[in-house]
A and B are shown apart, each in its own frame.
Chain A
């Protein structure tokens, strides 16, 4: 499992820059980031090199921010590697809400997965020998 932060951002010009400058000023590095958008706002999800500090400075700067854990699996940098993992869930009733990723230096990738049944999914991955990452 990997800890992520989720931040509410209004869908307006300049809002993302301001958010990023808060992190820069606190010398926090983003490992990966994704936004789920609606017409008026976005939910930005990110993994930083110091989530605890990120939450603190963001709150100090007036942001609505929460932290939660998502599944993280390591996959090889080859065609079909992600499919091998995701297809394990087929027919199990586990549903993927969203995923995003970042690549490691050695061409492998970390896939961050939000599923509706974390425990069941984690057990299933273990049983099938899928390596789960944690940061």
Chain B
């Protein structure tokens, strides 16, 4: 039997849903137009006023919002409310130095928690659950997002955050934890560490895992499910829209249910940006329908995916999001962290004299993502003393780690040994895709 967190909301009829979405969209557009200059300008440019938006069907008239808009309004320019009403901010990597900042009112946090609570229940969780949150806590939305949703549900939350795997295993075993939340690659790593410390899955009470913040394959799901003896559920989200919980899987694991009474999904052609039919793959676009702090209208996620509006066996009536298949930009997701090649480039440029000839190798070694940045040697970095070259290399690696938020191996290579590419994507080799 399927359990719901909010049966009425999760199983409402198509017409009810459309009315609710229409009502909320009208409100959101009005709020954005009145309070956020960038939206007013965008709408004026195409001759739109809030009065032109009469139902959810009018959404395709509205202009898109892109990450650059958030960057241009750094830090608080997209807020649609007085700053004093904002109770939390989160931030994620932007393409260069600055971060993409999002602000939440108390109500926004409630909505987000509600979305996460629904996700946890659809993965089999309840008030009785002990939920181990091993997503990072901090500016990243993963940790706090799952945390507040689990608390709203009334479950017992263990805010483990990242690191210290041995202690994490001990806590999960001793507490009888039944739900694990982390990145899928960390789940595989935990499984391997389990046997290293002499544990077997039978020593644990784990039933389900809620995994997200990076793309993962069906093969990886099978690995996790067989190694941890759990059911592995995919959860999707992005901080711009709210964080994890925008969409998540139910027990049938046939696509992620989008909480579309709060977040309206569209898929558009990745080149023409014209709306496309359900089932076809394109760029995923989201509109927040119930956000006060920072409403986003038709935000281009750069994620490639398709939507499914056929009824699900679980009875939920929401549109489902199929697994994310890729990106339309060069953003990499490494250990759950967003990394843009342009961030790497700016670090190289900042260290005076270093030509930005570099190549990024991403791999998955022992189920953990690794990133290596190869930098071509130059006279400016050169010395007759190996220790001088080595300390410069270490400094670059340090700068790189603080810019992108994760540690990266930095390798010096011969001049002119890296391919000169026209497109940035040629500067990246992602071996994870080949495995």
Q: Given the complex, which residues of A lie within 8 Å of B379, measured CB to CB? A: 64-66
B390 lies within 8 A of chain A by Cβ: yes
A43 adjacent to B384 (CB under 8 Å): yes
Contact with A along B375-411 (1 / 0, CB 8 A): 0011101111111011000000000000000000001
Q: Given the complex, which residues of A lie within 8 Å of B389, measured CB to CB? A: 8, 38, 41, 43
A17 lies within 8 A of chain B by Cβ: no
Cβ 8 A contact of B382, one of A62, A66, A114: A66
Bound Cα distance from A5 to B386, whole angstroms? 13
B385 adjacent to A62 (CB under 8 Å): no
B377 adjacent to A64 (CB under 8 Å): yes
Q: Given the complex, which residues of B lie within 8 Å of A98, measured CB to CB? A: 385
A37 lies within 8 A of chain B by Cβ: yes
A6 adjacent to B415 (CB under 8 Å): no
A38 adjacent to B385 (CB under 8 Å): no
Q: Count A-B pairs with CB separation below 8 Å.
A: 59
Cβ-closest chain A residue relative to B380: A64
Q: Given the complex, which residues of A lie within 8 Å of B386, measured CB to CB? A: 36-38, 42-43
Knowing A8-B377, A64-B379 touch, does A114 contact B412 (C-beta < 8 A)? Answer: no
Bound Cα distance from A47 to B386, whole angstroms? 17
B433 lies within 8 A of chain A by Cβ: no
Cβ-closest chain B residue relative to A97: B385
A68 lies within 8 A of chain B by Cβ: yes
Bound Cα distance from A36 to B384, whole angstroms? 9
Bound Cα distance from A70 to B384, whole angstroms? 10
Q: Given the complex, which residues of A lie within 8 Å of B415, measured CB to CB? A: 8, 62-64
B414 shortest CB reach to chain A, Å: 5
A43 adjacent to B383 (CB under 8 Å): yes
Cβ-closest chain A residue relative to B381: A64
B412 adjacent to A43 (CB under 8 Å): no
| Chain A interface residues toward B at CB < 8 A | 4, 6, 8-10, 15, 36-38, 40-43, 45, 62-66, 68, 70, 97-98, 114
